[in-house]
A and B are shown apart, each in its own frame.
Chain A
């Protein structure tokens, strides 16, 4: 059982470049999330999705876009990369609303992005 799979694990970008972080889950979870973690900080929510075709902004959405065309996939797009986007990005999924008996979040291993 793969769980939540993120690619790539590492990436270096130049300022102004664009890229997509891929996230796939095989647990048939409805809810999917993108978080970023900066050094010494907690995880901050970028975008989330409650099902295919439905996405919404989290706490720090500027500079990012997402799509959810299938239940399994939730890619995160960075347009015009900036040094402030240097971070570790985590994708997560849950069957139900976060918290609660069905709301445990399962995380991928993370994607470390550096923008120079």
Chain B
């Protein structure tokens, strides 16, 4: 059973507009959430994270929002740029040694 769900396999956004990527989780033991970005033929790279004690974290153009009661988080990218075109993975951690649980990813395409 998928514990981290990204229900949109792809998303197309015009350059300069806001991109919103969504993620839902089912395991209430998750206490840390991360977004990774992946280009073709490369490994995922860390983008931004949020602890369960916060509801928002910003880093430049990237903001992650966490709604614990809804078990939902979202990544906002403003403004979207062509270099943002990539697959974005939502991931969650229980704080244990067994790494991260990943969603299936959302392919973001920024249209010129």
Contacts and interface: CB of A to CB of B under 8 A. Distances in A.
Given A33-B99, A58-B98, A58-B99, A103 B44 contact: no
Nearest to B89: A42
Contacts of B101: 45
B14 interface: no
Given A41-B104, A100-B32, A103-B93, A48 B99 contact: yes
B105 A97 contact: no
B34 A99 contact: yes
Contact of B97 (A56, A105, A107): A56
B59 interface: no
Interface string A19-38: 00000000000010101000
A97 B97 CA distance: 5
Contacts of B36: 105
Nearest to B107: A40
A74 interface: no
A109 interface: yes
Nearest to A110: B43
Contact of A105 (B9, B95, B99, B104): B99
Interface in B33-76: 33-34, 36, 41-46, 49, 51
9 contacts: A50-B97, A56-B98, A97-B96, A99-B95, A103-B93, A104-B46, A105-B100, A107-B43, A109-B43
Contact of B44 (A31, A48, A90): A90
Contact of A4 (B9, B43, B103): B43
A43 B93 contact: no
Nearest to A49: B97
Residue of B33, B89, B101 most packed against chain A (CB within 10 A): B101
B54 to A, nearest CB: 13
B44 A99 contact: no
A108 B43 contact: yes
